[in-house]
Amino acid sequence: MKLSTIADLLKGDRAIIKSFNGIDIPLKLIEMGCIEGNYVEVLQRAPLKDPIYLNISGTYLAIRIEVASKIIVEKL
Amino acid sequence: MSEIKVALIGNPNTGKTSLFNRLTGLNQKVGNYPGITVDKKVGHTKLNNIIGAEVIDLPGTYSLNASSLDEDVAVQVLSDKTNENYPDVVVVVVDIENLKRNLFLYSQVKDLGIPTILAINMVDQMTVRGIDIDKQEMEALLETKIAFVSSKQNKGISYLKKLIIDFKDLSVVPCFIEEPTVFSVLAKDDKKKHHLETVRRYQFIKSVLEKTYRQDPQNAKDLRSILDKVLIHKYFGYLIFFTILFSIFQALFSWSAFPMDYIDETFAGFSEMARAHLSEGVFTDLLAEGIIPGIGGVVIFIPQIAFLFLFTSVLEESGYMSRVVFLMDKIMRKFGLSGKSIVPLISGTACAIPAIMATRNIENWKERLITILVTPFTTCSARLPVYAIIISLIVPAEAKFMSFNVQGLMLMALYLLGFGMAIVSATILDKVLKLGSKSYFVVEMPNYKLPLFKNVAYNVIEKTKAFVFEAGKIILALSILLWVLASYGPGDNFNNAETIVSQNHPNHTEEELQTEISSYKLENSYIGIMGKTIEPVIRPLGYDWKIGIAVITSFAAREVFVGTLATIYSVGNEEESTIKERMRNEVFQDSKKPVYSFATGVSILLFYAFAMQCMSTIAIVKRETNGWKWPMIQMFVMSGFAYLTALIAFQILK
């Protein structure tokens, strides 16, 4: 089992969200479905590498690398 | 007829507004929630022959844990039984493609104990997406009634109305927990508790969906991924974005020219008609010289404003705007802004007021404050009247540069200038302001969709109407005031104008004498005296006292500039011709050189590009920043800078 963060994933990678510190993550992100056990897929990086465009269990959203680097995932 | 109070709530991009339009048609109006400037849309509909409904469209929100003022409105309305908008029944509008996240909001609303209906929208997509829902089971698990609707195809609306009529039969039992935690941005919050509750709600929804929702996952190569490949491509993305902007500005200038000329001539005709058919007197003068040109000064800009709102709402509705936010975030961050600032900056091209209100979804206070402070630099539609008329005076219509219309290019340059100033001042503010606040950025990327003609049309009509009536009130009032100030004056110089002029020019023909008298009168009227008083200050910018008058009056609102000149020049001269002709023939009294030379034109353009001349914007900034400090700083800095650049430009070019 190899753990990394969403920020480390490459375009097209899929992963399962394992853990993150709820205090550091905006509540809005949790409400949008960023919770343990949900899958995440990196759809694209913005042209300047940041932000990052994700599909989190069917919700399509963009977050910045800074936050993405705090979400621990297991790559599939 | 008795009326049921219905509140519509839902995530952004669920088609909530389309459903609202379907339910209420043209029977709606926009207002403000008491005490705050968030748009409040209320409409009325007939449910059957005896019962009607008042439908309130709450701002789009992802949850009841409000993180912005917009979302807070929904919380305030739904959690307070004494609120004047507290509904009898809530309709939660959700999107069939993203039930998991949408049901999160539903579960929170349902737990408040208000009768709640679940409206699943976009059901026309069900078969396409291979979705299957066990409606009965879902109704039982969520303790509610479900209406499948398609606001696009007008399906299921009558069933939804029926459910609203029978709202008393709905269960008010919470579906998840007895005591929901509802948070307002005003309340101090407990993040850990939120986090836990959020996760538990998701688990509950997951279990509901496992029992009731099936989807064939066979749509990987859908429209979204194809379009995203191109629209947010590292090169094409920007190329497309700038091409779109460029075409909009070209279109604005060329498409609206025809209706504008037509309106211009029509109003000149009205004035003439009033003069020809009404008996001579003060009222006729007021009508022909104050009121009609005043109204004309507002009406003439309807085409341009409507086109602008048309473009911005199509970009918004199609889902493209979120891609622009995505594309621009990193770049904007370099200047202390957020990708989300691009929306205020672009909608600022229509009007700074809604644009500044649109900063509410920027979570970080510093990024938001900077966006508020720099947005008035973007070229709003109120500047267009000034730009349009001055550009057409200093650049010939036939002029071409590489087959582009030079007038259009010049306008584009002014837009870029405004945008550039916004960026530069943002960078400075980012360095100067010492505000530590945590930044985060979560943007939903909605599915692409063809904008519904109806929604776009409502948007254009509503916003244009608001502009015309809001600006129109000020402009008309000022036009009348100006006419009075221009038609009366103190002392003998004004009252004995006829005698004085005829004595000084004994050899003039009757016609020459009349013209001379009118301009002598204007010079000695109250407004003439005011204009002359400030002349020493504005002369270095290349303005005469007449432009000075227009500058003074347009501090209230820029678009007043043209109306003021219209009033001044038509008061000064009886002959009928359109305002442009009159400006072209205007000469300085001492040097007899044309007033609207290239240098003066550029000076005016720059002054209007930078000066903070909009009372409504000042009022909104005061409201959004909670005090006079920021709007005052903004006004003095912007207007001081405007004066300086106009001065330098004129001195170099003259």
Residue B606 lies in a domain: yes
Residue B220 pLDDT level (bands cut at 50, 70, 90):
very low
Which pLDDT band holds residue B87 (cuts at 50, 70, 90)? very high
pLDDT digits (tens, 9 = 90+) for B261-277: 888 888 888 888 888 88
Chains A and B form CB pairs within 8 A to the count of 115
Q: Name the pLDDT band for B638 (thresholds 50, 70, 90).
A: very high
Q: Measuring CA to CA, how many Å separate A63 from each of A42, A54, B237?
A: 11, 8, 18
**Where residue B439 falls among pLDDT bands split at 50, 70, 90?**
low
Nearest residue in chain B measured CA to CA from A46: B327
Question: Distance between CA B533 and CA B525 in Å, rounded?
Answer: 12
The answer to whether residue B261 sits within a structural domain is no
**pLDDT at residue number B420:** 93
Q: What pLDDT is stored for residue B7 in this prediction?
A: 92
B573 labelled as ligand-binding?
no
Q: Is B627 annotated as a binding residue?
A: no
3-state secondary structure of B159: helix
Asked if B65 lies within 8 A of A27 by C-beta distance, the reply is yes
For every residue of B240-262, DSSP letters joined together read: HHHHHHHHHHHHHHHHHHHHHHH
What average pLDDT does the structure give for chain B? Answer: 83
Radius of gyration of chain A (CA): 11
Alpha-carbon span A15 to A8, nearest angstrom: 11
Residue that is written with structure tokens 């089971």 in the block = B137
Q: Which one has a higher pLDDT value, B557 or B538?
A: B538
Q: What does the block give as tokens for B535?
A: 């002349």
Whether residue B242 lies inside any domain: the answer is no
Instruction: Provide the token pair at B167.
Output: 């709202």
* Residue bearing tokens 């009227």: B525
B218 to chain A, closest Cα gap in Å: 13
Does A63 touch chain B if contact means CB atoms closer than 8 Å? yes
CA distance B194 to B123: 32
Check pLDDT > 90 for residue B531: no
Please say if the pLDDT value at position B28 is more than 60.
yes
Domains and their CATH numbers in chain A: 4-75 (2.30.30.90)
What's the confidence (pLDDT) of residue B413? 92
- Does A30 lie at the interface with B, CB-CB under 8 angstroms? yes
Q: Is the pLDDT of residue B600 over 90?
A: yes
Residue B632 has what pLDDT?
Answer: 94
User: What's B449's DSSP letter?
Assistant: -
Asked which of B215, B247, B281 is the last residue of a domain, the reply is: B215
* Among B202, B442, B449, the residue to mutate for chain A (most A Cβ within 10 A): B442
Of residues B67, B199, B326, nearest to A53 (C-beta): B326
With H, G, I as helix, E, B as strand and everything else as coil, classify residue B280.
Answer: coil
Q: Is residue B366 part of a domain?
A: no
Residue B15 scores a pLDDT above 50: yes
How far is B57 from B499, CA to CA, in rounded Å? 66
Which structure tokens are listed for B441? 């950025």
Please identify, among B196, B215, B234, the residue that sits at the C-terminal boundary of a domain: B215
Predicted confidence band of residue B68 (pLDDT cuts 50, 70, 90) = low
Please tell me the predicted confidence (pLDDT) of residue B190: 63
Weakest mean pLDDT among B214-223, B379-388, B419-428, B474-483: B214-223
Give me the pLDDT at residue B605, please: 95
Whose tokens are 């949408």? That residue is: B102
Structure tokens at A50: 């940041």
> Is there a binding annotation on residue B111?
no
For an interface test with B, which of A14, A29, A32 has the most B Cβ atoms less than 10 Å from its Cβ?
A32
* Interchain pair B329, A28: CB under 8 A: no
Phi, psi of A42 (to 5 degrees): -85, 115
- Give B-chain residues touching A60 at CB under 8 angstroms: 224, 444-447
User: Of B195, B325, B439, which is closest to A30 when you measure between CB atoms?
Assistant: B195
User: What pLDDT does B219 receive?
Assistant: 53
B322/chain A closest Cα distance in angstroms: 9
Q: Residue B473: its pLDDT value, please?
A: 76
Per mean pLDDT, which range of B48-52, B53-57, B194-198, B597-601 is the poorest? B194-198
Q: What are the angstrom distances between the C-alpha of B535 and each of B491, B520, B539, B540, B625?
A: 21, 17, 6, 9, 35
d(CA B435, CA B429): 10
Residue B556 sits in which domain range?
480-653
Partner residue opposite A47 with nearest CB, options B63, B65, B237: B237
Cα–Cα dist B565/B559, whole Å: 11
pLDDT for residue B179: 55
CA dihedral B436, B437, B440, B443 (to 10 degrees): -120
- Better pLDDT: B426 or B245: B426
B224-251: pLDDT as tens digits = 888 888 898 889 999 999 898 878 877 7
Considering the domain boundaries, does residue B348 fall inside one? Answer: no
Domains identified in chain B, total number:
2
How far apart CA B251 and CA A11 sit, in angstroms, is 38
**Of B51-60, B212-221, B433-442, B463-472, highest mean pLDDT:** B51-60
Question: CB-based contacts of B300: which residues, under 8 Å, 6+ apart?
Answer: B260, B263, B264, B267, B385, B562
In a domain, B394, yes or no: no
Which residues of chain B neighbour A32 with C-beta distances below 8 Å?
Answer: 62, 101, 442, 444
pLDDT > 70 fraction of chain A, expressed in percent and rounded: 95
Say if residues B118 and B92 touch (Cβ distance below 8 Å).
yes
CA nearest neighbour of B352 among B500, B184, B558, B187 = B558
**How many whole angstroms separate alpha carbon B233 and alpha carbon B245?**
17
User: Is B123 marked as binding a ligand?
Assistant: yes
Our CA-based measurement puts residue B446 at a distance from the nearest CA of chain A, in whole angstroms, of: 7
Residue B581 lies in a domain: yes
The candidate with the shortest Cα–Cα distance to B339, out of A35, A55, A53, is A53
Helix extents (H) in B278-397: 282-285, 292-299, 302-317, 320-334, 342-347, 352-357, 365-374, 383-394
On whether the CB atoms of residues A62 and B328 are closer than 8 A, the answer is no
Query: What's the angle, vertex CA B29, arms to CA B26 and CA B32, rounded to 5?
Result: 160
Can you give the pLDDT at residue B34?
59
What pLDDT does residue B643 have? 95
- Supply the pLDDT for residue B425: 94
Annotation-wise, does B491 bind a ligand?
Answer: no
Residue B221 C-beta-side C-alpha neighbours within 13 Å: 0
ipTM: 0.92
Q: Which of B124, B146, B30 is nearest to B20 (CA)?
A: B30
Domain boundary among B154, B189, B215: B215
Q: Which residue has the higher pLDDT, B610 or B574?
A: B610
Residue B628 reports pLDDT greater than 50:
yes
SS3 B475: helix
List, for residues B447-472, the tens digit of each pLDDT value: 888 888 888 888 888 777 777 776 67
3-state secondary structure B547-579: HHHHHHHCCCECCHHHHHHHHHHHHHCCCCCCH
What are the residue ranges in chain A where pLDDT is below 50? none
Q: Is A42 on the interface with B (CB under 8 A)?
A: no
Q: Which residues of A touch B441 (CB under 8 A)?
A: 51, 62-64, 67
Q: What is the CATH number of the domain that holds B83?
A: 3.40.50.300
Percentage with pLDDT > 70 across chain B: 91
Does B17 appear as a known binding residue?
yes
pLDDT for residue B575 is more than 50:
no
Cβ separation of B62 and A31 shorter than 8 Å?
Answer: yes
| A27 at B interface, C-beta within 8 A | yes
Contact between B333 and B370 (Cβ < 8 Å): no
CB contact under 8 A, B191 and A29: no
Torsion angles phi and psi, residue B428, rounded to 5:
-65, -45
Instruction: Say whether B445 and A29 touch across the interface (CB within 8 A).
Output: no
The 10s digit of each residue's pLDDT in B127-179 is 777 788 888 898 888 888 999 988 888 888 889 999 999 888 888 877 766 55
Where is average pLDDT lowest: B183-197, B242-256, B386-400, B610-624? B183-197
Chain B interface, Cβ < 8 Å to A: 62-63, 65, 67, 97-98, 100-101, 104, 191-192, 194-195, 198-199, 202, 224-225, 228, 232-235, 237-238, 322, 325-327, 329-331, 339, 363, 439-447
Across the interface, do B441 and A44 touch by the CB < 8 Å criterion?
A: no
What lies within 8 Å, CB to CB, of A55 at 6+ separation is A40, A41, A43
Whether B182 is in a domain gets the answer: yes
Which run of H or E residues covers position B600?
Answer: helix B598-610
Residue B352: strand, helix, or coil: helix
